[in-house]
Amino acid sequence: MTRILIFVKIKPLLLLLLSGLLTISCGNNPEDTLTPEEIYSAPPEVVKEYGFVLDDFTVERDTVQKGDSFGKILFDANVDYATIQEISDSVQPVFDTKRIRVGKPYVLLKAKDTTNAAQVFIYEQNKEDYVVVDFQNQIKAAARKHPTTVYEREISGVINSNLSSTFDDLGVSVNVAYKMADVYAWTIDFFKLQKGDRFKVIYDERFVNDSIPAGIGNIKACLFEHNGREVYAFRFKNDSLPGGVDYYDETGKNLRRAFLKGPLQFNRISSRYNLKRRIKYYGYKIRPHKGTDFAGAIGTPILATADGTVTKSERRGGNGNYVKIRHNGTYETQYLHMQKRNVKVGEFVRQGDIIGTIGMTGNTGGPHVCYRFWKNGKQVDPFKQDLPDSEPLATELMPAFDSIRKPLKMQLDNIPWLSETLDDAAEEAVNEERLQ
């Protein structure tokens, strides 16, 4: 006699029908008929999230509302004030409960009893990072990450108006544009792009649960064609650099200059260095402007334009909040009118580090950073200086660089230009119309 074990959930009515069918198929032999005890159902699926079995709790999902605080959320979830204070003090090294932000999602896991009191608080810091505060038996907190999958992306595009709108048209995160602009910060002037300039990019993108975008990763390689000139860029780890990673062209030349062109991620000059500047407010008298003003919204990050050591970080007179950096025996830079200073005197900063934010402190008529450039103790126009290149790759690193560069260049070259793709599609449409 053969017995059949069925590992599925079966409704009672179907159970009777199935028993009858089994009896018929086995020749109506009572000994061959399966009893209900011999038909097995699969165990119920256990749903786990954030490391907890959700069926063990009453689950409440919400977002932080205006006026909410960690204490208010827990108190409304039947946790007393004394316990809330104890939780806040205990988890401080991992999670500052005072820094929850409006609009951020959170989850409460509540006890399935008459108290219906919260036992676990989960706060989503962003799409990837979250904090678990567990106070069921003892108070503990842990910073965790959602599992992410990294996918490699390939795109190509053609400039029609500006870089950001081009990426919008492609349906690609503008953060890719920002990262590409950083790669070519000294090689290409993105304020002088021309219609028809084009690019290809290979980059990584992270996803939570294979579906929720969690951020743009590294640009692996890109090709930008500006005014008919092609510039390749390849990411390469160079342990001899303080940051360890930089971008190089086909020959191993570093694309990063010793100085960035300006202190903002996207530089928009509102007033240039001008020793003969006349201002209406002062009766058109000559009032030299020895800095270059870069406009931006209040709070916009200000970047160090080169590696160096902070020599001044203070608030003084018309300069307002400002930072001054010595880069070597020749060059210094100064950043005025900051809202906030992020660095202290004596601190070493790397090119691209955020040293403060745009503000309106000191003598200023609007939000901007006045960028001053010093050469041998004298203020000069940075755009008229023959500034040094960064160091190229050492000869001994070229074999390792070539092993990365060659396959990436082949991959870039095989990505069709968007214009070519559109031409092919248009030609295909015409051919289809002819056939009809």
Whether 175 and 248 share a structural domain: yes
pLDDT digits (tens, 9 = 90+) for 270-293: 776 565 554 544 455 556 667 888
Whether 323 and 410 share a structural domain: no
Q: Is residue 41's pLDDT more than 70?
A: no
Which of 102, 121, 145 terminates a domain? The answer is 145
Would you list the DSSP string of 232-257?
EEEEEE-TTSSSSEEEE-TTS-BS-B
pLDDT digits (tens, 9 = 90+) for 51-66: 999 999 999 999 999 9
Residues whose CB is less than 8 angstroms from the CB of residue 421 and which lie 6 or more positions away in sequence, other chains included: 156
pLDDT digits (tens, 9 = 90+) for 342-397: 999 999 998 889 999 999 998 887 899 999 999 999 988 887 777 777 778 889 99
Residue 18 domain-assigned? yes
**Count of Cβ atoms closer than 10 Å to residue 408 Cβ:** 19
pTM: 0.61
Whether 2 and 63 share a structural domain: no
Strands 348-349 and 354-358: unpaired
% pLDDT > 70, the chain: 81
Which of 384, 407, 424 terminates a domain? The answer is 384
**Sheet (strand 245-248) strand order:** 148-158, 198-208, 212-226, 229-237, 245-248
Q: What are phi and psi of 126, to 5 degrees?
A: -160, -170
Whether 112 and 179 share a structural domain: no
Q: State the first-to-last Cα distance of the chain, in angstroms, to the nearest integer.
A: 65
**Biggest CA pair distance of the chain:** 115
Whether 125 and 214 share a structural domain: no
Which of 145, 171, 203 terminates a domain? The answer is 145
Residue 64 domain-assigned? yes
CATH of the domain at 230: 3.10.450.350
SS3 166: helix
Distance CA 199, CA 397 (A): 27
Task: State mean pLDDT over 178-189.
Answer: 82
Whether 19 and 120 share a structural domain: no
Would you list the DSSP string of 277-332?
-EEGGGTTEE--B-SEEEE--TT-EEE-SS-EEEEEEEEEGGGEEEEEEE-SSSEE
pLDDT of residue 90: 93
Whether 73 and 157 share a structural domain: no
pLDDT digits (tens, 9 = 90+) for 126-168: 988 999 999 998 999 999 999 889 999 999 999 988 888 888 8
Residue 192 domain-assigned? yes
Per the structure, the count of domains in the chain is 4
Whether 70 and 131 share a structural domain: yes
Domain region containing 76: 50-145
Whether 183 and 250 share a structural domain: yes
Distance CA 121, CA 57 (A): 12
Residue 264 domain-assigned? no
Q: Which residues pair with 199 in a beta bridge?
A: 157, 224
